[in-house]
Amino acid sequence: MTEDVGRVDRERRRLVTLLAGAGAGAAVFGRALCALADGAAKVTAGMVKQAEWISGVSFTDAERDLMLSDLNETAEGLAALRAVALDNAVPPAVAFSAAAPPPADAVSVPVPPRRERPAVRPPSDEELAFAGVRELGRLLRARKVSSTELTKLALARLRRYDPLLACAVTVTEELALAQAKRADEELAAGKDRGALHGVPWGAKDLIAVPGYPTTWGSPLFREQVRPETATVYRRLEEAGAVLVAKTSVGELAWGDVWFGGTTKNPWKPEQGSSGSSAGSASATAAGLVPFAIGTETWGSIVSPCTRCGVTGLRPTFGRVSRHGVMALSWTMDKVGPIARSAEDCGLVLSAIAGKDPFDPVAMDGPAPWPARRGVSELRVGFVEELFEEDRSEGAESEEAKARAAEWREHDRRSLGVLRELGVRLVPVKLPSRTPVAPLGMILTAEAAAAFDTLVLDGRVKGMVRQTADAWPNVFRQGRLLPATDYLRAQRVRTLLMREMEECLRDVDLLVAPTFGGDALLLTNLTGHPCVVLPNGFRLSDGTPTSLTFTGRLFGENDLLAVADLFQRATDFHTRRPKLTESTAAKG
């Protein structure tokens, strides 16, 4: 990637470089601890000495000799643990919590509901394909369109444009038509399941759906059918939504490359859509689905939404159940909606949020939508130095520098829009006492543990990408991280979370450039929610830029209210890419 949307990958590469130095001594020691399982020689004092530098300590000869018996016993225990079969769905016996949820009544008096416009069917199928969730709901209830009609339109567009975009792993046509038929029958009988009833959607192919493959984007799991049903799928089914496709995911939730190729950006089909919620963002931007579900651990909703010019909501950690969704990092994974507007994201979140007995970190909180407070009541912090940051630093060409400068100008204009709307902007500073970038090792360690068997049995060599900035390299390095340092990183993370709470003490939410500083990794570590939305289009190639609003823990109400206000004053989220028959044929 050559622009700021790829910063998360650059940060991962920097972390990979730091960890790569662990190779010689720690690898020898790690192999020694596994040696007994293969009947090889036992751990020796020389092996311990080779491994000491990665731990940041050194021992005397006597101290090394003293620990050998226990180390060899540990090796036996490790061999026994590795013999236990562990499915990806089995979590560790510890749970991370961003914070206790606020009481359900800890919100202001609801604002009056917005006045609904009369339901008027768009004049063409093309315009209907880009209608939002709320608008589609009005049309369905007014009998101006049927769920079956919307579903057939989505299926037709998937057939037409997926050859270009590579955004769908599995089209669930049989299921979709059955769900649409049921929705039409229920709505005709007066049974209304809510805003999503009869609306088509796409599920990132990390989400387990009964009877269909859940491939995780990898050839290693191409035929996998999971035994569980994802809670997020079950809740959307209960809300009457119609699943039309399992959308593509960068292999094991990194990037936009999967076993079917590279998912493309509808605004610039020769460019990848970024990832890892690659297909969910691409399909939504191209009008193939009104909304989709994505996941984020470190930028996997924010990055593709930026690239594809759609709106994404990364909820508070624990707001949405991860049950039935591939685990990458038990303390960082989040599930959230991708749609055309903040309003639509709020409607989807209302259907999928809440406690789940199958996910110990899933919590209840106040209903996220509609907004509970008027925007005039809110204080919005803005991180001034990030709006002044020179984002062209490190750019590889004059063109890239110009693109970065243009994005910065869009961000500054966005602040002007907010001021004109009467939003109270308060200068704030992000946490600075606690180092952020090194905490990326938490993801490395947990992802390596989640897919440890791929390294142990050698299947990791069958993954699509085998570069320095890809999972096989990171998974191997994760085996070299000392457990004590992983736990130290988690303790430092606690300090970072406390600092973030201080930062938000006097404001209700923050606005900042999407890839400014360490904000993306920081807020993923602290569990805070964010909305990313388009805030402009580059003159050079017509591709979108984005702005990010970050809220308090369980503060999605306020977050969505400000994002919705911004979108009511701008039209960036209503623009759509021009995909023609000729460009589709090139796919």
Q: Whole-angstrom Cα distance, residue 202 to residue 199? A: 10
Q: Which of 146, 147, 248, 300 is catalytic?
A: 300
Beta-carbon contacts of residue 529 (< 8 Å; ≥ 6 apart)? 313, 314, 315, 316, 319, 550, 551, 553, 554, 555, 556, 559
Question: For residue 204, how many other CB atoms are within 10 A of its CB?
Answer: 31
Which string of b and e fits 138-173 if b means at least 16 CB within 10 Å?
A: bbbeeebbbbbbbbbbbbebbebbbebbbbbbbbbb
- How many H helices and E strands in the chain? 21, 15
Q: Whole-angstrom Cα distance, residue 243 to residue 241? A: 7
Phi-psi region of 527 (alpha: psi -120 to 50; beta: other; left: phi over 0): left
- Half-sphere CA count of 314, side-chain side, radius 13 A: 35
Q: Whole-angstrom Cα distance, residue 416 to residue 256? A: 34
Q: Whole-angstrom Cα distance, residue 352 to residue 415? A: 31
Q: Which of 218, 276, 282, 321 is catalytic?
A: 276
Enter the DSSP assignment of 42.
P
- For 437-569, where are the E strands, in sequence order? 509-513, 530-537, 544-551
Which of these, 296, 258, 247, 250, lies nearest to 276 by C-alpha position? 250
| Torsion over CA: 544, 549, 554, 558 (sign) | negative
Active-site residue, 397 included: no
Peptide bond into 544 cis (omega under 30): no
Active-site residue, 276 included: yes
Contact between 107 and 132 under an 8 Å Cβ cutoff? The reply is: no
Beta-carbon contacts of residue 410 (< 8 Å; ≥ 6 apart)? 535, 536, 545, 547
Q: Tokens 């037709």 label which residue?
A: 156
Q: How far is CA 349 from CA 236, 259, 281, 298, in A?
A: 10, 30, 16, 20
Beta-carbon contacts of residue 308 (< 8 Å; ≥ 6 apart)? 265, 266, 267, 273, 274, 281, 282, 284, 285, 544
Q: Tokens 């998912």 label which residue?
A: 263
Which of these, 227, 185, 224, lies nearest to 459 by C-alpha position? 224
User: 161: helix, coil or strand?
Assistant: helix
Q: Give the CA diameter of the chain.
A: 84
Active-site residue, 273 included: no
Contact between 1 and 42 under an 8 Å Cβ cutoff? The reply is: no
Q: Whole-angstrom Cα distance, residue 86 to residue 449? A: 10
- Compute φ and ψ for 439, nearest 5 degrees: -70, -5
DSSP run (H or E) holding 561: helix 556-569
Q: Which residues are catalytic?
A: 204, 276, 300
